[in-house]
Structure 1
């Protein structure tokens, strides 16, 4: 079975080895095949799930004249925290992987330089004139449909179903204080039950035996039975795209499914770090992430939907990875104002 990748997904990580940058770290300038002159290295600070094919990295380096170096800084939440802590001495030139659950923190801290690519796809909306959308995906509970069929039990459908005693001790989620999918799912429950009702809902999940993991990787690969690695829980917080990677050998079906009435839409952004050594290279990299070649590669490299909705999706995605028609949403201004408070209230309710 193919392992998913992601701060959300799994550990097919850094398929671009940082080694691709080693040869160019000494500085100097390079000239791309289009005649553009890049000045040495451009360093991308990203989450642990950055994965882009080597051929695309080589394409960027050839076309721009820059050498790409990748620096992974942990999950999306950790990434943003590191950017804030090092804003006076940036860790690199560009960033990828700031998502809409943490974007306001990065913008409020002033760690980003304003930049709008000319080739921004139709329908793609920047945040704060500094964060450019690159991909998106729905964070949803996934079900091991093969397990439910074997047990003769209908899978749950809604958030309310997850608190039903029929599904006691079957669900694993991730901690919103340490995991961006965990925060996205917390926001889904805020969107569903309101700022005054989400704690009661989480208390019902605790009563029903929900397990909390620190990371997506632990929840999916250690606890989820549908990952095929010995997990014991047939319900796990993951992505709507995950079932496209649990397809049977004949391609006729997936052994897992996403509960599309439990979803929160996550958007990942790229941007130029303020005060970086190579802002020109950072802008070139942000531009490159929006090219057709990169956008078309995102489903199978990052396991996310491209920001460019005109890009054709892989056949398995069309069959097994539909997006939610009505994902839960929370106003970004409310997230900015209350995120830390909501996490504290969740912690008091769930962890104690």
Structure 2
């Protein structure tokens, strides 16, 4: 999605995000768990207030995925029966949690990210909880001083390109945000809507970080005029419209994650057919939290502890295409070559996101959707 073009507004002003530790936000092509129950324990009749057992309702985004043996082990060890529901992408998840805060959809939620976290916290969606097994490398990602949310994984939202498509068409691949505005990339890019998608909002924030308050709107106006396609969520963009993944769509430039290329490498291959444009990224942190008013808050806290366990943290890269928040976890070998974090992701201060997010989304909608 990038390569050479006139920059709208001020020149990109990039600040390096202090990056200690590895983590990443979920981008997985995982299993969408909507209302399915995975049962492993036999304590379904016990009350959670008695120290375990009973139903534990987990609300996630639609890219949540963990190995079934880990889920079964948690159920067996804890006695809880897990019931998962997934109302949509990360943005849709936050919207639903807020709308249902008086009658929570579940006991614990996973998938709220740093671009939407303050909205949920301000709405009183979460009950503070600080896990005893929170890794030191995760502390830099805490959403607030109260412990409303627990960081679970981190990742860079970046544009990805289909190397094969560009080679076959004899067009040089883009490299920067500005490049996407060039005529040769007209009609080649698909992104997700920031009003309904957490990666979409992360990419909007990348452009705010790159071009500033005076330049990002002009950038999107030009990008839209250059044949941009916008879809509701990441799954549609990557798995349906992107030419370099399973959907074999018509768009060789897609909004995804820096880790996505590692999952397109064929077994035994030494090169990835896709690549992330590391000069277009925004770092995303993904959280879990105990829902205020939960029927099973004890189980919710146990599930958050479980998400920070070594087994789950090691499972996250392969299941959800993101980095564990615990930087002591050994990563898959392929990630060194094919799934790097961006050395200098664009960033926007949390207080700026809090103050301007809704207005930015509204302006983006007026500019791009009309």
Normalised by the length of structure 1, the TM-score is: 0.92
Paired residues of 1:37 and 1:65 also in contact (CA < 8 A):
no
Q: Distance in 1 between matches of 2:328 and 2:96?
A: 34
- Deviates most, 21-30 or 249-258: 21-30
Match of 2:52 among 38, 60, 82: 38
Cross-structure match for 2:143: 127
Q: Aligned-pair distance for 1:181?
A: 0.9
Match of 1:214 among 222, 225, 232: 232
Cross-structure match for 1:12: 31
CA offsets per residue over residues 170-206 of structure 1, 9 Å max, x none? Answer: 1111111121111110000001011221000011112
Q: Distance in 2 between matches of 1:211 and 1:73?
A: 23
CA offsets per residue over residues 309-333 of structure 1, 9 Å max, x none? Answer: 1111111112101010111111111
Cross-structure match for 1:3: none
Match of 1:53 among 67, 82, 87: 67
Which structure 2 residue ranges, 5 or more long, are not aligned? 1-24
Answer yes or no: is 1:86 the counterpart of 2:100.
yes
Q: Distance in 2 between matches of 1:176 and 1:24?
A: 42
Q: Aligned-pair distance for 1:12?
A: 3.0
Alignment of 1:1-352 (within 5 A): 8-10=27-29, 12-14=31-33, 18-21=36-39, 27-29=45-47, 37-125=51-139, 126-128=142-144, 129-352=147-370
Query: Closer, same or farther in 2 for the Cα pair 1:71/1:195, shift >3 Å?
Result: same
Supply the RMSD in Å over aligned alpha carbons: 2.1
Query: Closer, same or farther in 2 for the Cα pair 1:165/1:25, shift >3 Å?
Result: farther
Which structure 1 residue ranges, 5 or more long, are not aligned? 1-5
Query: Closer, same or farther in 2 for the Cα pair 1:65/1:141, shift >3 Å?
Result: same
- Deviates most, 222-231 or 260-269: 222-231
Query: Closer, same or farther in 2 for the Cα pair 1:150/1:214, shift >3 Å?
Result: same
Query: Closer, same or farther in 2 for the Cα pair 1:338/1:250, shift >3 Å?
Result: same
- Deviates most, 105-114 or 149-158: 149-158
How many residues align structurally?
Answer: 342
Aligned-partner SS, 2:66: coil
Query: Closer, same or farther in 2 for the Cα pair 1:25/1:119, shift >3 Å?
Result: closer
Q: Distance in 2 between matches of 1:248 and 1:61?
A: 34
Paired residues of 2:243 and 2:251 also in contact (CA < 8 A):
yes
Q: Distance in 2 between matches of 1:277 and 1:339?
A: 31
CA offsets per residue over residues 191-231 of structure 1, 9 Å max, x none? Answer: 10112210000111122211111221221122211114331
Paired residues of 2:30 and 2:64 also in contact (CA < 8 A):
no
Which structure has more relative contact order (CA 8 Å, sep 6+)? It is 2
Paired residues of 1:7 and 1:47 also in contact (CA < 8 A):
no
Q: Aligned-pair distance for 1:8?
A: 4.2
CA offsets per residue over residues 5-24 of structure 1, 9 Å max, x none? Answer: x974435333x982314986
Q: Distance in 1 between matches of 2:48 and 2:364?
A: 50
Paired residues of 1:241 and 1:304 also in contact (CA < 8 A):
yes
Normalised by the length of structure 2, the TM-score is: 0.87
Q: Aligned-pair distance for 1:26?
A: 5.2
Paired residues of 1:172 and 1:211 also in contact (CA < 8 A):
yes
Paired residues of 1:191 and 1:329 also in contact (CA < 8 A):
yes
Query: Closer, same or farther in 2 for the Cα pair 1:194/1:345, shift >3 Å?
Result: same
